[in-house]
Structure 1
Amino acid sequence: MWTAACEALTIPADQTFRSVWALRSVLPAWAGDRIEAAPAEPSYVADDGFPAELSVNWSGTRPELRLLFDCGLVSPVSPGYARSGAVAANPRLGQIHEIFTARPGLPSPPLWHSVAWRPPARVVHKTYFGLYAWPLSQRYAAVSEAMRRLGMTAAWDDARRRVESAVGPREIEFFAVDLADEAAARVKIYYRNHGADIGELNRIASVARHHDAERALAAYRSLTGDRTAAGEAALSCLAFRSGVDGAAECATYLRLANLASCDGEAVDRTAALMRSEGVDPERFRVLANALAPRSLKDSQGLLALVSYRAAGRPGDITTYFRPPVYGRSVPAPSPVDLAWHDRDDDPISTIGRS
């Protein structure tokens, strides 16, 4: 997948070779396992249980290639990943890692990692904690404690209050951190939206300090085919940066696999959005065809998600590809009941306060 994407994006061979070496050094031990007829332990990364997803961000002069992968499953985390300086020595991850570990009555949240590369720049690492198996009160308590340790309590309180005032309670699904020391490194909180329309998604995104609501709504309409419904389980990702007293920006993810009749239609809608944002979609089309196992008109779900961020950078669109490996979907986590209340006795909220 990675080398096919590099070829489609016309990345020089020597740079591709170095990036493959870097990627292999951090992939988990399962990367060397034989792919059987069905996943031994399904991952939630892809609908069919495969533990990896490839994506490309199209902003800027060069696309950014990314691979998101599940760090666990039946095999342990790779020695290369564990030794990675971006992971082991990262101050932010060290501050919060214990919050997102197994405790009595709660499973350990899945740990995902992402390698992002905008050639010829260096590789950037990101880590994600999947909170979808925890009760909502536990998720909010863990996120609040993590934001406290990172010095972002005021920003999180402001964003949460404004989101809930605009659209009501939300389900937190992921907590993520950029593994970098730069001031631009982000902390990200992902909401899963059940039964939302694009106006609701736009109200959530408008909580961010940098958001163009008019441009965003036009982009959402392009992706949904002018429908107001946002489709199945759209995501809103609030990004927080040091020194900003609220959410800095918001990316909205729409599931094109649910909104379009086939991958051909999904690619056409996305290409139209890219063109309207001043991005030539030709490389995107070449990439989609390179990853497709058959004609895009005869496939469904390859282009699984498309995200859009209206934060001042034209063409801030990311396309998420999940090539079919196992051929059938596995059950995803069930939607949760949002009629919940915070509990003052939540054990997570007292971690590290002695």
Structure 2
Amino acid sequence: MLRSLLPPWAHERIGPAPAPPSYVADDGFPAEMSVNWSGAHPELRVLFDSLGHDVVWPGDSVFHTRRLDHVRETFTPRAGRPSPAPLWHSIAWRPPAGLIHKTYFGLYSWPHAHREAAVAEAMARLGLAEAWARTRRRVETVEGDREIEFFAVDLTEDAQARVKIYYRNHGAGLAEVERVAAVALHHDSGRARAAYQTLAGEGAGAGEAALSCLAFRSGVDRAAESTTYLRLPALAPDDGEAVERTAALLHEQGVDPGRFRTLAAAVAPEPLSRSKGVLELVSFRAAGRPGDVTTYFRFPVFDRPPPAPFRPSISDDHR
């Protein structure tokens, strides 16, 4: 399916450098693979940067939902933004259920005032302005340095479809990311703290650029759920240790870690004890479903990292 959607990727050879580079992975490769381990069957996901290409889903009339139509223009120069927001897409599949599609708007290159204005407008268009305002006020009571980085929508009209807003935390400790997560309505702080500590090891820091995702659903007056993403290369010396900490978390959550270990070893280009960054992120959501752990794999494809994208600091907007 992915090959049929992206003709340039299907037919162009991957060279020694990205052209153009993507922000998905540190080396500029425009895709990652992840697996959510909750439930009887894992959910496989592929996230990719469209790199400026239009993506037409099979059965587009089904997946091209009103929700996406409501907000798409909000993230373009037609709405006063400095540039079109890069589009990332995700396909998620948990057999025997059908595919789920998601779209992500990358806000990371804009000044912060533009990010906040776009998110506020999009949430208003979706009827979630009050929920966002209440949630944002709660987040702003948490001390620390963070910025809005992504806005995402589930491409379905299902009542449980989510709108997600991602914060990147700078220099945060585990206690700080827990306080951000706790602004959500459904969140078990005790479970979350224990999970973060298992991943972080003996330290109290959340590592470099931990992410906080707040998920909104229709009919809920603030963020319904939260997911915290810890960047394992900043917390563990190598992929071997990162995998073992993640396996311990899965075991604590009642999930047999055997399939995860097998997958990690299969996708790493060398023994896990000699690699770092293949297991890039591990996320945990403490919202009632057991074993809600997702592992994110990024593949070292290019010889050297691309130039970093422009990323204004929070001080640029005098916040």
Question: 1:94 is aligned with what amino acid?
Answer: D
Scaled by the length of structure 1, the TM-score of the pair is: 0.86
Instruction: Report if the CA contact (8 A) 2:18-2:306 is conserved.
Output: no
The offset of 1:334, in angstroms, is: 5.3
The alpha-carbon deviation at position 106 of structure 1 amounts to 1.1
- Aligned residue for 1:147, secondary structure, equals helix
- Pairwise CA RMSD: 1.7
1:129/1:257 Cα in 2 relative to 1: closer, same or farther (>3 Å)? Answer: same
Displacement of 1:81: 3.6
Counterpart among 39, 51, 63 of residue 42 in structure 2: 63
Which of 221, 224, 244 lines up with 2:200 in the alignment? Answer: 224
CA contact (8 A) 2:215 2:225 kept: yes
Measure, in 1, the Cα distance between the counterparts of 2:61 and 2:45.
19
Query: Is residue 268 from structure 1 mapped to residue 244 from structure 2 by the alignment?
Result: yes
Q: Does 1:96 align with 2:64?
A: no
Shift of the alpha carbon at 1:86? 4.3
User: Matched residues in 2 for 1:171 and 1:247: separation?
Assistant: 17
8 A contact 1:257–1:304 mirrored in 2: yes
1:1-354 matched pairs, under 5 angstroms: 22-27=1-6, 29-73=8-52, 76-78=53-55, 80-81=56-57, 84-88=60-64, 90-103=65-78, 106-167=82-143, 170-333=146-309, 336-339=312-315, 340=317
Q: Give the secondary structure class of the aligned counterpart of 2:229.
A: strand
Q: 1:174 to 1:219 in 2, by over 3 A?
A: same
Paired residues of 2:145 and 2:169 also in contact (CA < 8 A) = no
* 1:217-249 alpha-carbon deviations (Å, 9 max, x no partner): 111111111211111111000000000000001
Cα deviation 1:120-142 (Å, max 9, x = unaligned): 11000000000011110110000
Gaps of 5+ in 2: none
- Note if contact 1:117-1:124 (Cα within 8 Å) is conserved in structure 2: yes
Matching residue's letter, 1:286: T
Sort the Cα spacing of 1:209 and 1:91 in 2 relative to 1 into closer, same or farther, 3 A.
same
8 A Cα contact 1:251 1:307, kept in partner: yes
Unaligned runs of 5+ in 1: 1-21, 343-354
TM-score, normalised to structure 2, is 0.95
Task: Number of aligned residue pairs: give it.
Answer: 317
Residues in 2 aligned to 1:200 and 1:331: alpha-carbon distance in whole angstroms? 30
CA contact (8 A) 2:33 2:296 kept: yes
AA at the equivalent of 2:306: V
What's the % identity of the aligned pairs? Answer: 62
Give the SS at the match of 1:279.
coil
